């Protein structure tokens, strides 16, 4: 989509800080979310907290349990 090639500009008090194509910033944002979700998952496992199934089942769901 051509609209993703359009520039995105970050400004603070009217001063231009950063400009890049929108598709680059969308990718960076998604990567950032995935990174922090991974950090949270590791923290929860270290605290023996079951990881919730937010985007589908997690390994802590009973669906993944070994059959009896």
Contact 44, 50 (CB under 8 A): yes
* Unique residue bearing structure tokens 């922090």: 36
pLDDT of 65 reads 64
Give the pLDDT confidence score for residue 16 in this predicted structure: 97
pTM: 0.67
Closest among 45, 7, 35 to 23, alpha carbons compared:
7
Count CB atoms within 10 A of the CB of residue 27. 12
Tell me the per-residue pLDDT of 9-53, one tens digit each, with 9 for 90 and over. 999 999 999 999 999 999 999 999 999 999 999 999 999 999 888
- Residue 33 sits at φ, ψ, to 5 deg, of -60, -45
- Pairwise CA distance, residues 33 & 19, whole Å: 21
Rounded average pLDDT over 49-65: 80
Question: What pLDDT score was predicted for residue 58?
Answer: 82
């Amino acid at each position: 989509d051509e609209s993703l090639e359009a520039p995105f500009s970050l400004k603070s008090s009217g001063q231009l800080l950063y400009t890049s194509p929108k598709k680059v910033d969308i990718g960076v944002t998604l990567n950032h979310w995935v990174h922090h979700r991974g950090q949270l998952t590791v923290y929860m496992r270290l605290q023996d907290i079951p990881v919730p199934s937010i985007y589908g089942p997690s390994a802590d769901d009973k669906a993944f349990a070994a059959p009896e």
